[in-house]
Amino acid sequence: MPDNVQSVYGKFVSSGYYQKNMGGLRGKYDNIRKYWEDEITRFAIRPFLLDTIHACLMRLERLRVVDLGCGSGQGYELLTTIKKDEVGIDAHDHDMLGPDMFGNYLGVDISHDMVKQAEGMYSANEKVRFAQADLNEGIGVVKEHPAFDLYYSAYGSLSHLDDEKLENLLVEIAHHARDGSLVVGDWLGKFSYEWPCHWGLKPEESYKSYTMSWIKDNALHEEVESFPIRYWARDELLELFKRASKRSGVKIEPLRFLDRSVFVGRHMDTRQYNPHAQPIRNFTNMLHEDNLRTNLEHLLINYVPVEGFDEQNRYFERLQVAWNNIVHFLMERLSPQANENLLQRYSSVDEQVFYILKTLDRIVENVRWIEFGDPRANIIEPQLGYALRSLELAFQEGKGHSHGLLGVLKIHKK
Ligand SMILES: C[S@@+](CC[C@H](N)C(=O)[O-])C[C@H]1O[C@@H](n2cnc3c(N)ncnc32)[C@H](O)[C@@H]1O
């Protein structure tokens, strides 16, 4: 295990990066994390968590969660604010996992500083506990507790482990879990446009040096050290799950994979691993920021194909053209010379894209009644942000084309 992981994350904590008060344009909780990544994670988990909550209800128990590589407890807030999807817009109480159904939450992390910060933040919440543990050694202290309903791990924590350690961890989870427990994992996607230099890596070469260099100048005023990270393709993870199933004798069923942050990963802005990357995260963050107008031209993506990767090139080119269509449409629609037949011109585009364009068209039309303030910055631009987020979901393949590759698994013991 690289021994600098603790110290690197310790520095992030003391720089203030792991707090929630850095505004929407930078920091761990920038607008993309809040409005895209956390929401897409909730969306991915929701139907399966609903079934798990139902199973708990039938056993007359409350839901119990362990968060592996919990940082300062971000998973607690994410999970307790998942919305019920069937609830109407008129309802004010719409959390799926309210306090009555939430049993307890145990967060484990290798970093003492992270755990200390988490304990400080949640000291008033009796249901939340934290412990220091190195997942390279398996689930460790988690074994002192009864089986959990959800083994949750998010935002790349499991990519810190190499293949052997991840397989061992899954085997231990499979033994510790109960029938029907959910496992949520989240890894760095091998085929992200942030790092085409890694696309051709064989599995045995894919545990590579990585740095969260965007934190420099963002919160920290020194170089950020690197540590190894495993970049995963979905098919490689499926193989690993099969091996863990066989070794543990427990069926581990993959339920869903989802690519999160396809063109908006943090390394798009750093260009550290791809000279053609553009700062799309920065400009998309701006879309969601109050009272700030964004130069929409900066959102136009020029995807540069990567030789020898036809499948990835097809996926990214299609997404890029759809993305740019949406941005171009809005630019034209906002222009005082907007053509009356503008929408008509796009009518033969992909159905899902056309739906987005129709919606943006209506939004621009409907803000005219607002006489002061800045409807473009505060109403139209955030909706462009949501439109682009919808596109990410509409063109979803879940193969590792993104910064984060999310997987939901189910443990079967009967
Ligand atoms: C990118 S952060 C994600 C934090 C959090 N899960 C979130 O949702 O934001 C990765 C976390 O994994 C932790 N970590 C890295 N290697 C670990 C290991 N071997 N065992 C336990 N935690 C580890 C780090 O300390 C850090 O808090």
**Ligand 1 pocket, 218 CB below 6 A?**
no
- Measured by CA distance, the residue closest to atom 26 of ligand 1 is 71
Residue 268 lies in a domain: no
Q: Quote the distance between the C-alpha of residue 153 and its chain's center.
A: 11
Domain match, 307 and 247 both: no
Helix-helix angle 351-366:310-334, to 10 degrees:
20
Domain match, 182 and 287 both: no
Residue 256 lies in a domain: yes
Residue 270 lies in a domain: no
Q: What angle do CA 117, 118, 119 make, to 5 degrees?
A: 90
Task: Provide the pLDDT for residue 1.
Answer: 53
**Ligand 1 pocket, 73 CB below 6 A?**
no
- Taking each continuous run of H as one helix and of E as one strand, the counts in the chain are 14, 9
- Secondary structure element (H or E) that encloses residue 227, with its range: strand 227-232
- Secondary structure element (H or E) that encloses residue 169, with its range: helix 163-176
Which of 160, 161, 164, 210 has most ligand 1 atoms within 8 Å of its beta carbon, as the pocket-test mutant?
Answer: 160
- Strands 227-232 and 207-210, bridge-based pairing: antiparallel
Domain match, 227 and 327 both: no
Domain match, 220 and 284 both: no
Domain match, 51 and 159 both: yes
| Domain region containing 312 | 280-394
Domain match, 334 and 187 both: no
Distances (CA, A) of 276 to 16, 42, 103, 242, 314: 31, 31, 47, 36, 17
Task: Provide the pLDDT for residue 38.
Answer: 97
Residue 272 lies in a domain: no
Q: CB–CB of 334/363 below 8 Å?
A: no
**How many domains are contained in the chain?**
2
- The number of the ligand 1 atom at minimal distance from the alpha carbon of 18 is 9
**Ligand 1 pocket, 72 CB below 6 A?**
no
Q: What is the pTM of this model?
A: 0.95
Domain match, 285 and 164 both: no
Domain match, 383 and 366 both: yes
Q: Which amino acid is at 179?
A: D
Domain match, 209 and 192 both: yes
Bridge partners, 412 (sequence order): 251
Q: Which long-range contacts (CB under 8 A, 24 or more apart) does 59-62 make?
A: 61/103, 62/100, 62/101, 62/102, 62/103, 62/104
Domain match, 306 and 167 both: no
Residue 330 lies in a domain: yes
Residue 206's domain is classified under what CATH number?
A: 3.40.50.150
Domain match, 212 and 287 both: no
Residue 45 lies in a domain: yes
In angstroms, rounded to a whole number, what is the distance separating the alpha carbons of residues 152 and 149?
9
Residue 274 lies in a domain: no
Distances (CA, A) of 326 to 192, 296, 307: 22, 11, 27
In angstroms, rounded to a whole number, what is the distance separating the alpha carbons of residues 47 and 264?
25
Domain match, 241 and 293 both: no
Low-confidence ranges of the chain (pLDDT < 50): none
Q: How many CB atoms lie within 10 A of CB 265?
A: 25
Residue 269 lies in a domain: no
